[in-house]
Amino acid sequence: MSGNDSNLVDLGFLDARIKLIDIAAFLDRLDRHGQADDYRVKALREAFAELDSKEPGRASRVLDALSDHTEEPIEAAEIQGAFGAPPETD
């Protein structure tokens, strides 16, 4: 590493640490309130597997795992905005 290069660990570790602790606290709250079986939480847990991957492109694969790929329009919107995870299918 040359003198002009920034150390990415120094720059990003504390921010990543905070986010990871926040996610762990969120999951604890869901467990305490019996909401851990929600389809969005299931999608998050499936996306977590990408965090330990050694292959480049983790962010893209996580985004893909948490995106709705439905091409058919819905009949009527239930909310304004997105759910943030693919809907459950029967």
Q: Where are the domains of the chain?
A: 7-35, 37-67
Condensed to tens digits (0 to 9), the pLDDT of residues 78-87 reads: 777 677 887 7
For residue 76, the model assigns a pLDDT of 81
- H helices of the chain, where? 8-32, 39-48, 58-65
Of 79 and 18, the structure prediction assigns the larger pLDDT to: 18
CA 51, CA 24: separation in Å to the nearest integer? 14
Condensed to tens digits (0 to 9), the pLDDT of residues 20-70 reads: 999 999 999 999 999 999 999 999 999 999 999 999 999 999 999 998 888
CA 2, CA 49: separation in Å to the nearest integer? 33
For residue 2, the model assigns a pLDDT of 54
Does residue 47 contact residue 62 with C-beta atoms inside 8 Å? yes
